[in-house]
Amino acid sequence: MEFDLENTMTSLEEQQFDTVPNLFASESDHMPSRNLLHCLKTSGFYVSFRQEAISLILQAQYSCNHDAFIPYLAVNYMDRFISKQEIPQGKPWIIRLLVISCLSLAAKMKNAHFSVSDFQGEEAGFIFDTQTINRMELLILDALNWRMRSITPFSFVHFFISVLELKDPSTSQPLKDRATEIIFKAQNEIKFLEFKPSIVAASALLVASNELLPLQFPLFKCSFSSCAFVNKEKLLSCFNAVQEMVEMEWYESMLDTMSCTRTPLSVLDRLCTKSESETTSTTSITNGSTVPEIKRRRLNGHSSK
């Protein structure tokens, strides 16, 4: 049976009323250990290793036209594996073998075709036989305690949308689509590894609602904050981190647009743009204005309301 990241539990008994509490209770078992966060904060090797691994996984997605959930699942496996297994330095072949094996496992979980030959060639520098890849897959499975049906932020999206009690049901799909985009982007950022999948999902939906339904945002924030399964402080911290990520994306997009319409874009132009952007951001937090200030709103900016 194909694994659906949005419906992690699929057996009959798991579809009962206690499915949601079970998801929240089990999500920590599907996160990287805190050891990975420590390594990423103290070791440049682990930072570059993870960045290169994610780059290779995304490269495979583009070249093989995979379902976007396959690389997402592969990165989840990779993060959980390297959080429990020490990665030896000075052996560059390890990263490619790990990536291939994680992609292979993720493809199997999605019942999707994955050709190893499409991912390794002479230009890659390393070629692994099937037996070597199978052994690496077993190492990964063992490190993950065979928990391959990963609980991710996608597992909680439907639940949190139901919590919103949207007045217009047609807005649920745009919210889900935008939150999905944010969740995909957040996986690449080291800072989100410390948050539980449910917190990332709730934060992504709050940012999406902030952009798409700004007038209802305060109500949505209250609904999530009062949810029995949600840690309010963690939600605040994660929301602000997601908002910063989205703001940076927006700012970089603005600079790209300016560089296309005003060539050349001088250093002075960039500094002026940044100064104006910071001024706008300050105004939005103070006044609680709408677009483009909506993108710059902080969750604690509504704490007094």
pLDDT digit string (tens) for 94-141? 999 999 999 999 999 988 888 777 666 555 567 888 899 999 999 999
How large is the average pLDDT for residues 35-44? 89
3-state secondary structure of 265: coil
For helices 197-212 and 172-186, the axis angle rounded to 10 degrees is 130
Neighbours of 299 (CB within 10 A): 24
5 vs 195 pLDDT, higher one: 195
What CA–CA distance (Å, rounded) separates 86 from 89?
9
Neighbours of 130 (CB within 10 A): 9
- pLDDT category at 30 given cuts 50, 70, 90 is very high
CA angle 48, 53, 54 (to 5 degrees): 100
Indicate whether 48 pLDDT > 90: yes
What CA–CA distance (Å, rounded) separates 106 from 250?
31
What CA–CA distance (Å, rounded) separates 72 from 76?
6
For CA atoms 274, 275, 281, 285, the dihedral sign is: positive
Comparing 6-10, 43-47, 139-143, 240-244, which segment has the lowest mean pLDDT? 6-10
* Residue showing tokens 């690389």: 71
Residues in the chain: 305
Q: Specify the pLDDT at position 257.
A: 72
Q: Is the pTM of this model over 0.85?
A: no
Pseudo-torsion of CA 210, 174, 3, 85, nearest 10°?
A: -30
Share of the chain above pLDDT 90, in %: 54
Q: Specify the pLDDT at position 254.
A: 75
pLDDT in tens, 217-268: 999 999 999 999 999 999 999 999 999 999 988 877 777 677 666 555 444 4
For residue 227, give the amino acid letter.
C
